[in-house]
Amino acid sequence: MRCAHCGQPLPDTAKALAVAHAVASERRLTNKEREVLCYLAQRPGVVRTKAEILDYVYQLEPGDQPDVKIVDVFVCKLRKKLVGAELVVETMWGRGYFVKKSGSGGNGEANQHDADAVRGLVDEGAGAP
């Protein structure tokens, strides 16, 4: 698989995220679960706080948003639906959540090529049901 932007072969992380994004459509994610997954997949390996995820998913005024604990519910449901996929949602205790390729180490950072490649894949899949 090659990057849609530069034509270079995608790194392993981006490949796994691309496969998992396609699989996610088949696993009947709710709109909110899909939004959480897509937000995390935009920067694989980068920790996102619960507040950042909540702001992205709901895009409401702070007083109008549900409790931040709802993010835990979305992540729990995502983990169950992604069993066996090449993508996993990991917890950075006390900081937040991030996605990584199943079986790979997560250091809380992603290189720019990974982020750009996955962002393109997420943008392409944003219109999927």
Mind listing the pLDDT tens digit for each residue in 89-127? 999 999 999 988 776 554 444 444 444 544 454 454 444
Give yes or no for residue 50 having a pLDDT over 70: yes
Nearest alpha-carbon partner for 110 in 31, 17, 36: 17
> Are 84 and 40 a contacting pair, CB within 8 Å?
no
pTM for this predicted structure: 0.65
Return the CATH number of 12-125, one of 2.60.260.20, 1.10.287.610, 1.10.10.10, 3.40.718.10. Answer: 1.10.10.10
Q: Where are the domains of the chain?
A: 12-125
Average pLDDT score over residue span 41-52: 89
If pLDDT is split at 50, 70 and 90, which confidence band does 9 have? low
Question: Contact, 128 vs 13, CB < 8 A?
Answer: no
Q: Which residues of 47-79 are buried (b: 16+ CB within 10 A; e: fewer)?
A: bbebeebbbebeeeeeeeeeeeebbeebbeebe
pLDDT of residue 75: 95
Handedness of CA 36, 42, 48, 53 (dihedral sign): negative
DSSP 103: T
